[in-house]
Amino acid sequence: MFLFTCLIALAVHYKDRGAYHKRFMILATLCMLPNPMVRLLVLMGMVHTIAMIGAWALVVALIVAADAVRAGRLHPAFAGGAPTIVGFLYAAYFISVIPTKVEDLALPTSGDTRSPADCVVPCSPQSIDQV
């Protein structure tokens, strides 16, 4: 929502410069698009979050590319704005998957025969109540 607000503020600031205003409004709209896209992709059976972010980034790239082909050049608002919104979403995803407590890491001991993938403790309502 912060990025959406910033892009709307830029669009309002550039309201007298139609090309900038239009592109900042498009970028602000694209910032809101991941939520409904995730719901649609889950309904279609796609469950990998990073793939969903990739699908959204592809939509952003296609819109920017179509505008660049139509205008004959890449507009500065898209040149700076598109990488920023894509970068923010990827950063938010990778920050969200970082374990927040040492207990969540559940590192294996020397005698442990489990694979490292099995050592991540799933978060369930019961485990939250025990903390």
User: Do 85 and 108 fall within a single domain?
Assistant: no
Model confidence at 58, in pLDDT bands (50, 70, 90)?
very high
33-54 tens-digit pLDDT:
888 877 887 788 777 777 788 8
Q: Measured between alpha carbons, how far is 52 from 46 in angstroms, rounded to an integer? A: 8
User: Do 107 and 90 fall within a single domain?
Assistant: no
99-129 tens-digit pLDDT:
666 555 555 555 555 555 555 545 444 444 4
Residue span of the structural domain in which 109 resides: 103-131
User: Do 65 and 127 fall within a single domain?
Assistant: no
Number of domains forming the structure of the chain:
2
Q: Measured between alpha carbons, how far is 129 from 85 in angstroms, rounded to an integer? A: 36
User: Do 76 and 49 fall within a single domain?
Assistant: yes
Residue type at 29 in one-letter notation: T
Alpha-carbon 81 to chain mean position: 14
